Amino acid sequence: MNAFKLAGLTLVVYLTGCAALAPQPQAGAGAGTDTGPASQRPAAALAGPSRSENSPAKDTRITKTPITSAPASKPLLPADWVSDAEAAKQPSSRAITTLSPPKDIWERIRRGFAMPDLDNDLVHDREQWYSTRPDYIYRMTDRSKKYLFYIVEELELRGMPTELALLPFVESAFNPQAVSTAKAAGMWQFMPATGRTFELKQNVFRDDRRDVLASTRAALDYLQRLYVQFGDWHLALAAYNWGEGNVGKAITRNQRNGLNTGFEDLNAPMETRMYVPKLQAIKNIVASPVQFNSRLPLIENHPYFQSVDISRDIDVALAAKLAEVPLEDFRALNPSVNKPVIMAAGTPQILLPWDNAEIFQSNLEAYSGARLASWTVWIAPTTMRAADAARKVGMGEAEFRNINNIPLHMLIRQGSALLVPRAAHGEQDVTSKVADNGQVTLAPEIVVKKNFVRLTRGTSVAAIAQRYKVSAANVAQWNNVRVNAGFKAKQTIVLFLPQSNLPHAQAPTLAPAPMPAGAAKPASRIPYQSAAKPVAKPVLKSVAKPAVKQAIKPPVKPAQKATNKALPPPKQKANAVPLKK
C-alpha cells in the first residue's frame, strides 16, 4: 500500500513540473494589457525588460536611432530615440533604420539632416563659388573642429536639425573673434541689442557674444523661438538674418496681395535672399564633398574641450602655460575675454582641450608663484586726461592707452573701470559688480559748441575769422554769407568755437588773440558740464558785451546873465596872509 502511495505522489510531482515548463498563452486584449506593436507601448517599455541580479548578463545598451519618417521641416525630438531591440520590432511602415555609431562628426551631421532642401539658381551659384575655393573650405572646416561636436550635441538634445551646426560657416566662417561692419560679433554674429536680449553680457572685460557656450545657447534659443513663430526653418533663418519684424511684415504684405508666403516668395534684401542658399550649398558640400571638389578634415566624434572652474583671477598667459596649451588655441576656446586677465567673479569657467584640463588642475595646485594675476581694476575718481590717469597708477601713457583702448585726444570720464597693474602683494580679486558691469566712458578733450555773438560795430568775415582763429570759409558758411562779405553793427552772428571738456579747474588758459579793429569781444566761457555727453553743435547763447565807448563829458550849463549887482569878495581863511594891493 505504501508503494502505491509513493508512486502516486511521484506522478503528481512529475505532472506539476511539466505544467510549469509548458509555454504560457498570451493574455487577451484586456484593460492594462499591451498587445500592440512597440510603437504603441508606453515609453517605459522602450527601455527593455528589467534584469535581476541572478539573470544572465545580456547586452541591453541603448543605441540612438532616429525615426526617419518624421516630417522634414519638424525637429526630431529626443523622445524618438529607441533601442536597437525595440527598433527591430517596429512595423515596417515606420521605416526605422538601425544605425551604428558615426565614424566622424561629418557622418553624424549628415544623419541629422531634417530641413527641406532648397534647389534654385542661387544655391547653384554658391555651390560653384565654394567648389572653386577648396583651400578656403578646408581652412574653414578645420577651424570648426574645436566647436562642432559641442554644437551638434546641443542640437540633438533640443531635437533640432543638424544643418544648423553649419550656420556659423555662413555667419563667421567659424571665427569667434569676427566682427561685422554692423557691429555683430562672435561665431553666431549677435548684434549688441540682440545679445542683451538673450542675456549675453557685454562689458569692457568680456563679451559673451564671442563665448562658445553662451553664444551657442543664445543662438539655439533664438532659432527655436523663430521656428515656433514662423513654423518653417527657412523663414526662421531669414528672420535670424533680416530680423523677425521684417520677415513678419514681408509675409503680411504677400498675404495682403494674395501671394505665397514661403522663403523664396518674400521680397527680401539680397543678403537675406542669399543667406539660406549659402547654407544649402554648404550642406550639399558636407553631404558629398567629392562631388564639389572639396575635402573635409577628419573631426572625431568626441568632445574637443571641457570646462574647468577657476576661483581666483588669473592672467591669460599664465592659464595657457599651466594648461600646456598654445596661447592662440587658448584664446580660440576662450574668445570672450577682452583683457590679458580672466576675472573669476565674471568668468568662473574656462574651456580647455579635453586632455589638458587635468594637466591644468595639477599644475595649478603645484604653482608656487607670487600671484596668479598681475592686473586689477582701478575706478577713475574724476574726469581726467589719460596722461594724468597713467601717472596716478604708475604706468606709461602709451601702455595705459593700449591696455584700455583709449584713443588720443579723449578724456576718461569719472567712474570708468580701467585695467592697471596689481600691487606686488595684492591678493584681493576684482568684485563681481565690477567684473560684470565695468565700462570705460570716454569724451573728447575739445568739443565744438555753438555761440551767438552780437556785434557792436560793422566788421568783415575775415576779421571775425582772424579774431576767433577759425577759417573765413567756415564763418561764411555758418552765417550763410559770402567770404568777402561784411557784417553790420548790432548784427548777431553764429560761431562754432572749440572748448575744453575738462572741469574748469583743469582747463588750460589761453592768451587772448589781439582784437582787430571793429571786431566784437569774444563770447564768454561756457561752464563745464561733467554729466553731459559732448555734442558736436549744442545751442548755447552767449551775447557779447558791447564795446566800451569813450567817456563823454556832461554838457556845460549856460552862463548866468550879467547883473548890476556886484559879487561878494571871496572869503579868506582865518590864518591866511592878506594879499597886498
C-alpha cell at 233: 526653418
C-alpha cell at 418: 580701467
Among left, alpha and beta (phi > 0; psi -120 to 50; other), residue 438 is beta
Minimal CA–CA distance to 212: which of 373, 347, 355, 75?
Answer: 347
DSSP state of 202: B
Which amino acid makes up residue 177?
Q
Separation in Å, CA 21 to CA 7, 14, 141, 252 = 22, 11, 62, 71
Minimal CA–CA distance to 318: which of 257, 269, 369?
Answer: 369
The residue assigned the cell 533680416 is 242
Check if the beta carbon of residue 280 is closer than 8 Å to that of residue 118. Answer: yes
Distance, CA of 59 to CA of 55 (rounded, Å):
12
Return the SS3 of 294: coil
Distance, CA of 42 to CA of 369 (rounded, Å):
60
Check if the beta carbon of residue 312 is closer than 8 Å to that of residue 372. Answer: yes
Minimal CA–CA distance to 268: which of 232, 244, 242, 231?
Answer: 242
Minimal CA–CA distance to 412: which of 377, 375, 380?
Answer: 380
Indicate the helix (H) or strand (E) that contains 273.
Answer: helix 270-287
Distance, CA of 203 to CA of 438 (rounded, Å):
6
Distance, CA of 156 to CA of 113 (rounded, Å):
11
Phi/psi for 259 (5° steps) reads: -105, 165
Distance, CA of 328 to CA of 314 (rounded, Å):
17
- What are the catalytic residues? 171
Distance, CA of 169 to CA of 117 (rounded, Å):
18
Distance, CA of 375 to CA of 36 (rounded, Å):
68
- Measured over the CA atoms of residue 374, residue 376, residue 382 and residue 383, the dihedral's sign is positive
Check if the beta carbon of residue 165 is closer than 8 Å to that of residue 194. Answer: no
